[in-house]
């Protein structure tokens, strides 16, 4: 093959790629309204439910695979995460427009506060086991 033949084949391939790109753009333009409608209808509930289920799954496996020596640091991190949850729950409660959003926000604040205080009590008892008696 010489350079001219290669250039002609490359030109033909580029034109074919351009035609395929135009076809793909047209197909995407036709499908976009259906995709946007389906995503808009399912997005709030399914997206948040998926995130919640994945967080439960990951959290379960992380907590159960922790060695006993790392339980105190894990409790400290859990308390820090719960404090962030309290701030988010307070925002949800205060900014909620429906009584249901406010009720769930209040429930989240209450449960996260119980988790924080209980975590501090458990951490304190665990650390007391390592102190010397004297």
Q: Do 73 and 121 sit in the same domain of this protein?
A: yes
* Residue after which a domain boundary falls, among 21, 49, 65: 65
**What pLDDT, on a 0 to 100 scale, did the predictor assign at position 54?**
92
Q: Chunk the chain into consecutive blocks of 10 residues (it has 134) and report each block's average pLDDT, rounded to whole numbers.
A: 82 88 82 62 76 87 77 73 81 83 85 83 79 74
* Residue after which a domain boundary falls, among 65, 84, 99: 65
Structural domain span for residue 44: 1-65
**What pLDDT, on a 0 to 100 scale, did the predictor assign at position 35?**
59
Q: Do 12 and 58 sit in the same domain of this protein?
A: yes
Q: Do 16 and 61 sit in the same domain of this protein?
A: yes
How many domains, in total, are found in the chain? Answer: 2
Q: Do 34 and 91 sit in the same domain of this protein?
A: no
89 burial (CB, 10 Å; 0-12 / 13-18 / 19+) is: buried
**What pLDDT, on a 0 to 100 scale, did the predictor assign at position 37?**
61
**What pLDDT, on a 0 to 100 scale, did the predictor assign at position 42?**
60
**What pLDDT, on a 0 to 100 scale, did the predictor assign at position 134?**
61
Q: Do 74 and 58 sit in the same domain of this protein?
A: no
């Amino acid at each position: 093959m010489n350079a001219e033949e290669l250039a002609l084949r490359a030109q033909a391939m580029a034109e074919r790629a351009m035609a395929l790109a135009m076809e793909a753009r047209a197909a995407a333009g036709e499908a976009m309204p259906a995709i946007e409608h389906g995503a808009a209808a399912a997005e709030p509930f399914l997206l948040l439910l998926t995130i919640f289920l994945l967080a439960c799954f990951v959290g379960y496996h992380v907590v159960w695979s922790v060695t006993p020596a790392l339980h105190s640091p894990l409790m400290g991190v859990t308390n820090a995460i719960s404090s962030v949850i309290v701030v988010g729950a307070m925002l949800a409660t205060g900014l909620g427009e429906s009584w249901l959003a406010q009720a769930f926000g209040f429930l989240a604040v209450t449960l996260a506060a119980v988790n924080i205080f209980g975590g501090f009590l458990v951490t304190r008892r665990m650390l007391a086991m390592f102190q010397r008696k004297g």
